[in-house]
Homo-oligomer: A and B are copies of this chain.
Amino acid sequence: MATVTIVGAGLMGTATAWPLCDNGHDVRLVGTHLDAEIIRSCKDGGFHPRLKRQLPDGVRPYFREEIAQALEGAEIILSGVNSYGVRWIGRTLAPHVRPEHLIIAITKGLEATAEGDPMILPDVLASELPAPLRERVRIAAVGGPCIAGELAGRRQSGVLFGCRDGEAVERLAAAFRTSYYHVWTTTDLVGLELCAAMKNAYTVGVGLVQGILEKAGGVDAADARMYNLAAAIFGQACTEIERLLRAAGGTSSLAYGLPGAGDLYVTCQGGRTVKMGRLLGLGHSYEEACRIMAGETLEGAAIIHVMATVVPRLIARGLVREEDLPLLRTLIDILVLGRPATPDLDTFFGGRGRL
Instruction: Show the binding face of A for B, using Cβ within 8 Å.
Output: 51-53, 144-147, 149-153, 155-158, 160, 166, 169-170, 177, 182-188, 220-232, 234-236, 238-239, 242, 251, 253-258, 260-263, 265-266, 268-269, 345-346, 348-350, 352-355
Residues of B within 8 A of A236 (CB): 257, 262
Residues of B within 8 A of A265 (CB): 230-231, 234-235, 265, 268
Residues of B within 8 A of A151 (CB): 228
Q: A147-B227, A235-B260, A239-B257 are in contact. List 20 more A-B contacts (CB 8 A).
A: A52-B222, A52-B223, A145-B231, A145-B235, A146-B228, A149-B222, A150-B226, A150-B228, A153-B220, A155-B226, A155-B228, A156-B226, A156-B232, A170-B354, A182-B232, A185-B353, A185-B355, A230-B266, A231-B265, A258-B349
Residues of B within 8 A of A147 (CB): 224-225, 227-228
In terms of DSSP, what is the predominant structure of the interface of chain A? mixed
From the candidates B225, B235, B253, name the one contacting A262 in the complex (CB within 8 A): B235
- Closest B residue to A269 by beta carbon equals B227
- Closest B residue to A235 by beta carbon equals B262
Knowing A150-B228, A224-B149, A257-B349, the reply to whether A262 touches B234 (Cβ < 8 A) is yes
Cα–Cα, bound, A355→B254 (Å) = 9
| Closest beta carbon of chain B to A238's beta carbon, Å | 4
Most chain B CB within a 10 A radius of its CB, from A184, A256, A352 = A256
Can you report 14 A-B residue pairs in the complex whose CB atoms are below 8 A from each other?
A: A150-B224, A150-B227, A166-B354, A182-B352, A186-B354, A230-B265, A230-B266, A231-B263, A232-B262, A234-B266, A235-B256, A256-B260, A256-B261, A265-B265
Are B256 and A256 in contact, with the CB atoms below 8 A?
yes
Knowing A182-B346, A265-B265, the reply to whether A355 touches B232 (Cβ < 8 A) is no
Are B256 and A238 in contact, with the CB atoms below 8 A?
yes
Cα–Cα, bound, A227→B270 (Å) = 11
- Closest B residue to A355 by beta carbon equals B186
Are A152 and B238 in contact, with the CB atoms below 8 A?
no
